[in-house]
Structure 1
Amino acid sequence: MPNLRRLAFVCALFLSMTPAAAQQTQSRLYEITKSGVLRVCIWPMYYSISFRNPDSGQLEGIDIDLSKELAKDMGVKLDYVETSFGSFIADLQANKCDLGMFGVGATMKRAQAVAFSDPYLTSGVYAVVRKGGPITSWADIDKPGVNAGVSLGSYVENFMRSYFKNAKTVAVAPPATTQAELMAQRVDVVMTDYPASIKMNAQFDWTTTVAPPENLSVTPYAYVMNQGDQIWLNYVNLFVRTIKLDGRLKAAAEKNKLGPIVAP
């Protein structure tokens, strides 16, 4: 980052500080700057977000692109740490990474244990089914005998367990994937978010997406960190606001087919 831009960024950061942040003497921001390395937790099985392409072996997705932008703005190297929705809170608390950047739903329950940045995406719940299968509409899903696959630890899992009256929620844990379970017909439908639904349709021509009749469990997606570090949170929030203003968020979203769910 040019010196002038860096200076403006830091000045804006300190102007936005709360009194609590102004009293802080220690912060992960200082530790990252000193070490020269930003450790970012990702889940490399999240389509369009942080996905390891099986053909190239390379990581791709909006949060791969934006984590590189954050590291560039900070002038540090980037180190990815693999996690999952079932373990990321424990990994953050164990100091395995400085920040989670993999489309984490900012829910009230999770906010009891971790801190969230300003949102950068929002998504509701969608259903992905096999073409020509028994489920052709939303009304076909919540019926006895229907197995609905969800990613273990995701906000979708918690929501569907309370939403379904008749269908069975099947939590799929890594290294298994919901799309593999759908392909093997061990589940009849995958309940997921917009990013996963559009990517599954793009990669597997035997799938199609069924949208709910109305917005369902619309959730903000944000970056996640340990609680109690207002300086680091302010910095990440300023990054989110900056990429919204300078067009980097929109460009990364469009590149990864997520334009319709960019947060305002």
Structure 2
Amino acid sequence: MGVTKILGALALTATLGVMASSGAEAQQTQSRLYDVTKSKKVRVCQFPLYYSISFRNPKTGEIEGIDADLAKEFAKELDAKLEIVESSFGSFIADLQAGKCEIGMFGVGATMKRGQAVEFSKPYLLTNLYAVTRKDSKVKKWEDIDQKGIKAAVSLGSYMEPFMKGYVKNAEVVSVAPPNTREAELVAGRVDVIITDFPTAIKVTDEFDWATYILPNEKLAITPYAYVVPQGDQIWLNYVNLFVDTIKLDGRLLKYAKKHKLDPIVAP
């Protein structure tokens, strides 16, 4: 290759490099972080039927739980007004992609399948499966669940749903969609057991004297809970991760976890 061609190739490479760099910088200057700090409003998707995480108190109408408290802390850090957007495990991905909220904060399990459509922050809780049933139920231990005639309820769109459908061989898995709840199905006797996580198991057994929870012999479907954001906004994800790191270090995560009896499952 002649000198002229070499110089031309180098010039083209340099030009492409500058263009790529400029494109990356342009992309990085567009972020939800800038939109939120400019508008002074942050929209947070929450599922208002999630005990200990984001549950609407029927007496006050207020959403209570660890993520109700931490969403307020998040808005405070941004110096923004908090706006709660009701969502669910079956719709939060579509809600984020449609721009209905900037972030989901309601104990979303960070799974590989969900990671194909959204991005997750660093984890703040870590849990596995529990079963909740009535004290007078024929289900006395975990092994009693996978029997013919047993109906096990899961929330539609939760990570428990695909796990249980692949796990059980004899029992029937019943997917419950909002506004119905697993707990109401159990109370009505339409299911024998509900499959849930630590937050709901603790809350239900604390509030209802008829309820008891059952642990499997081994931890099943160990799942990190994280905050969830749309794909393609690294600046926003970095800020959310910084928030998670900060509340771990300054004690706010543990403070609100203890308030809602979730301190045993705080992520390291």
TM-score, structure 2 normalization: 0.90
Matched, 1:222 2:233: no
Aligned partner of 2:104 in structure 1 is: 100
Matched, 1:164 2:151: no
Check if 1:62 corresponds to 2:94: no
Q: Which amino acid aligns with 1:229?
A: D
CA positional deviation for 1:23: 5.7
Q: Is the 8 A contact 1:127 1:190 kept in 2?
A: yes
Counterpart residue identity of residue 216, structure 1: L
Q: Could you tell me which of 202, 211, 236 is aligned with 1:207? A: 211
> Residue deviations 1:47-76, cap 9 Å, x none?
000000112221110001001001111111
Q: Supply the distance in 2 between the matched residues of 1:73 and 1:90 (Cα, whole angstroms).
A: 26
What letter is aligned with 2:92? F
CA offsets, 1:193-249, max 9 Å, x none?
111111111111101000010111100000001000000000000000000000000
Letter in 2 for 1:208: T
One-letter amino acid of the structure 2 residue matched with residue 253 of structure 1: A
Say if 2:242 is the partner of 1:247: no
- The structure 2 residue matched to 1:177, chosen from 158, 178, 181, is 181
Shift in alpha-carbon separation, 1:21–1:261, aligned structure 2, 3 A: farther
User: Cα–Cα, structure 1 residues 21 and 68, in superposed 2: closer, same or farther, change >3 Å?
Assistant: farther
Mapped to 2, the partners of 1:143 and 1:172 lie a distance apart of 20
For the 8 Å contact 1:63–1:102, the answer to whether it is kept is yes
Q: CA deviation at 1:106?
A: 0.2
Instruction: Give the superposition deviation at 1:22.
Output: 9.1
2:46 maps to amino acid: I
- Which digits, 9 at most, give the CA deviation of each residue in 1:89-123, with x for residues without a partner? 00001100000000000000000000000000011
Post-superposition Cα deviations, 1:115-160, rounded to whole Å, max 9, x if no partner, equal 0000000110000010111011111110111000000000011110
- For residues 51 and 21 of structure 1, do their structure 2 counterparts lie closer, same or farther at Cα, with a shift above 3 Å needed? farther
Let me know the Cα RMSD of the aligned residues: 1.3
TM-score (normalised: structure 1): 0.91
Q: Distance in 2 between matches of 1:91 and 1:221?
A: 19
1:21/1:230 contact within 8 Å kept = no
Map of 2:14 onto structure 1: none
1:21 Cα deviation (Å)?
A: 7.9
**CA spacing shift, 1:190–1:21, aligned 2, 3 Å:** farther
Q: Which runs of 5+ in 2 are unaligned?
A: 1-23
Q: Distance in 1 between matches of 2:207 and 2:57?
A: 11
Aligned counterparts of 1:136 and 1:247: Cα–Cα separation in 2: 38
Contact 1:42 1:102 survives alignment (8 Å): yes
Partner of residue 5, structure 2: none
**Count of matched residue positions in the alignment of Structure 1 and Structure 2:** 246
Alpha-carbon distance in 2 for matches of 1:141, 1:230: 43
Counterparts in 2 of 1:52 and 1:149: CA distance versus 1, 3 Å: same
Contact map agreement 1:156 1:192 (CA 8 A) in 2? yes
- Segments of structure 1 that go 5 or more residues without pairing to the other structure are 1-19
